[in-house]
């Protein structure tokens, strides 16, 4: 299983939220590059970067930080947040992203998302499936829908999507464990590479995700709050 630390960006700072609530913002470092380099120095190869300003603004904002991290490290970066147009996708890839994650677009403009999938391929385009009470949420988790997350992933899996990041919003940033039952159901319904996101609080959570068969796990606050050390992750990697 790939270990994928997260760097969420607001106003150029490395932050974390709780349940996606912007009012809970906590700044952990004013220099995201410094954080990324520390990950790389400890054997991490992958990085999940979220442009929270972009998610709220509905267009990519922090691409310069993406460019800086990509140019100063060898990390393979998947980038999401505010990617709403083909221009946003181009900016992200031109700024050094290895992959981009499309969530809101996939829920609201399926034709456009499938155009990206066709143009760049399933290795480059990740489906973002962020949900609250099993229902897909969009635009920085501000807007809710009636789309069931399992059906959403199953439908896109049939259309050629290979990689999926599924975040249970109720778990995100809460350090209370992961949504293993939901992940198990998703993988039983669709043969996608599932990347678990939200709620990782300990090494035991990671071991459980490995046992479930998740392709990757994204974690953030557990690292920043010292619940999981970079040395532990280095040993696991």
Considering 51, 78, 130, 168, which one is annotated as catalytic? 130
Tell me the HSE value of 141 on the side-chain side, using a 13 A CA sphere: 23
The verdict on whether 148 is a catalytic residue reads no
Q: What is the mean pLDDT of residues 7-17?
A: 94
pLDDT for 237: 84
Considering 8, 53, 168, 172, which one is annotated as catalytic? 8
Phi, psi of 18 (to 5 degrees): -115, 125
% pLDDT > 70, the chain: 99
> How much is the pTM?
0.94
pLDDT for 180: 96
Tell me the HSE value of 139 on the side-chain side, using a 13 A CA sphere: 9
Q: What is the pLDDT of residues 37-47, one digit of tens each?
A: 999 999 999 99
CATH class label, 2-236: alpha beta
Q: What is the pLDDT of residues 180-228, one digit of tens each?
A: 999 999 999 999 999 999 999 999 999 999 999 999 999 999 999 999 9
Cβ pair 64, 33 in contact under 8 A: no
Strands (DSSP E) contained in 35-118 are: 46-51, 76-80, 99-102
24-to-27, 65, 138, 140, 205 alpha-carbon distances in Å: 10, 22, 19, 14, 24
In whole angstroms, what is the distance from residue 78 CA to residue 44 CA? 14
pLDDT at 114 over 90: yes
The verdict on whether 130 is a catalytic residue reads yes
pLDDT at 118 over 90: yes
End-to-end CA distance of the chain: 8
Phi, psi of 49 (to 5 degrees): -110, 125
Domain ranges of the chain: 2-236
């Amino acid at each position: 299983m790939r270990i994928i630390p997260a760097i969420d960006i607001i106003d150029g700072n490395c932050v974390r939220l709780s349940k996606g609530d912007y009012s809970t913002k906590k700044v952990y470092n004013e220099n995201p590059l410094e954080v990324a380099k520390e990950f790389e120095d400890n054997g991490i190869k992958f990085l999940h970067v979220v442009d929270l300003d972009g998610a709220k603004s509905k267009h990519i904002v922090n691409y310069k930080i993406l460019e800086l991290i990509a140019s100063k490290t060898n990390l393979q970066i998947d980038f999401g947040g505010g990617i709403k147009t083909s221009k946003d996708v181009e900016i992200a890839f031109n700024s050094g992203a290895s992959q981009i994650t499309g969530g809101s677009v996939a829920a609201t403009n399926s034709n456009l998302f499938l155009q990206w999938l066709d143009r760049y391929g399933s290795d480059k385009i990740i489906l973002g499936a962020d949900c609250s009470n099993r229902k897909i949420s969009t635009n920085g988790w501000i807007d809710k829908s009636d789309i069931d997350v399992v059906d959403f992933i199953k439908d896109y899996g049939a259309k050629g999507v290979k990689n999926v990041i599924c975040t249970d919003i109720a778990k995100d940033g809460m350090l209370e464990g992961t949504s293993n039952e939901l992940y198990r159901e998703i993988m039983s319904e669709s043969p996608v590479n599932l990347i678990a996101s939200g709620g990782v609080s300990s090494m035991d959570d990671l071991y459980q995700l490995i046992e479930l068969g998740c392709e990757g796990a994204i974690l953030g606050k557990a690292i920043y709050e010292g619940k999981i050390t970079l040395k532990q992750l280095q040993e696991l990697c």
